[in-house]
Amino acid sequence: MHKGYVKLWRKMTSWGWYKDGNTMRVFLHLLLICNHKKSTYMGQTVDRGQCVTGRKALADALGLSERNVRTALLHLKNTQELTIKNYSKFSIATVLKYDFYQLGDQQVTSKRPASDQQVTTSKECKNVKNVKNVRRESFTPPKLEELREYCRSKGMAIDSDRFLDYYSSKGWLVGKVKMKDWKATARNWARSSRPTDKPAQRPVIDEPKRPVYTPAEEAATQAEIKKLKDTLGMDVTGDKTRFR
């Protein structure tokens, strides 16, 4: 009952009892403590939109006198905002338009499928665990001394000032994603800063390629060679060359 939220329409500011402080406070308190699903209390069924209460309990919860509470309840009953059924030790108050207030534009109609008409409490009642998860996922950048101490404890030799300046300038983003764990990022930073054990590779030098001639070019080249030899008076026999 004390977890989650209820919807509060802005048009309540034009509600007849909005300027009556006591009546408005009593109504809002009842709206907040009403069941969002059926339950039982001392053998009595307490349906959705109902709550177990009493004048004294309301007075204690709101810091009002029982007389003020009784007047406020009378106002709300007269304008058909709620009904109250009294028992020997308690009362059950019913907010008559609870579903209208809480379903809004998702009001249940008989024409819609039964599965669509099912009122789920998951949307109305946000579990406190979800809030805890959000807090757990929040990220706080490390302080310089905190980072240095962590690096010393892990034996990591990194430039802490450079690490902080770099990620501060990036808005503590790793790529395009918000950093979640600065310790893991620091470890990755240290690994990427280590020199590699692989020997430096020698540059590959391209060997000159033998030119490719067409048959006509090859014949012309041979003719030029023969002409040059004739001019110099050289004989070519096998692998030996001699002058005539």
Burial class (CB in 10 A: 0-12, 13-18, 19+), 190: middle
Q: Which residues contact 94 (CB under 8 A, 6 or more apart)?
A: 47, 49, 50, 82, 83, 84, 85
Domain boundaries, the chain: 10-104, 138-193
Answer whether residue 26 shows pLDDT above 90: yes
The Cα 46–Cα 40 span in angstroms is: 5
- Concatenating the DSSP letter of every residue in 64-127 gives --HHHHHHHHHHHHHTTSEEEEE-SS-EEEEETTHHHHHHGGG---TTS-HHHH---HHHHS--
Answer whether residue 1 shows pLDDT above 60: no
Q: Among 30, 2, 27, 3, which residue's Cα sits nearest to residue 16?
A: 27
Best-predicted range by mean pLDDT (104-108, 116-120, 133-137, 194-198): 194-198
pTM, two decimals, is 0.43
Answer whether residue 234 shows pLDDT above 80: no
Lowest-confidence range among 35-39, 102-106, 140-144? 102-106
Cβ neighbours of 84 (radius 10 Å) = 16
pLDDT of the residue at 217 = 82
Residue the block writes with tokens 């409490």: 121
Which residue would you say has higher pLDDT here, 107 or 20?
A: 20
Answer whether residue 83 shows pLDDT above 60: yes
The Cα 244–Cα 242 span in angstroms is: 7
Architecture of domain 10-104: Orthogonal Bundle (1.10)
pLDDT of the residue at 187 = 92
Cβ neighbours of 82 (radius 10 Å) = 22
The residue-averaged pLDDT of 62-91 equals: 92
pLDDT of the residue at 51 = 93
Relative orientation angle of helices 182-193 and 144-154, to the nearest 10 degrees: 60
Tens digit of pLDDT for each residue in 207-231? 666 667 788 888 888 888 888 878 8
pLDDT of the residue at 236 = 54
Q: Which amino acid is at 157?
A: A
Answer whether residue 110 shows pLDDT above 50: no
Relative orientation angle of helices 21-33 and 55-62, to the nearest 10 degrees: 110
Q: Please report, for residues 140, 152, 198, the alpha-carbon distance to residue 156 in angstroms, rounded to integers and kept in the order given.
A: 21, 6, 21
Confidence category of residue 131, pLDDT binned at 50, 70, 90? very low
pLDDT of the residue at 117 = 44
The Cα 54–Cα 185 span in angstroms is: 57
The Cα 124–Cα 6 span in angstroms is: 7
Instruction: Give the three-class secondary structure for 193.
Output: helix
pLDDT of the residue at 203 = 60
Lowest-confidence range among 64-78, 97-111, 132-146, 181-195? 97-111
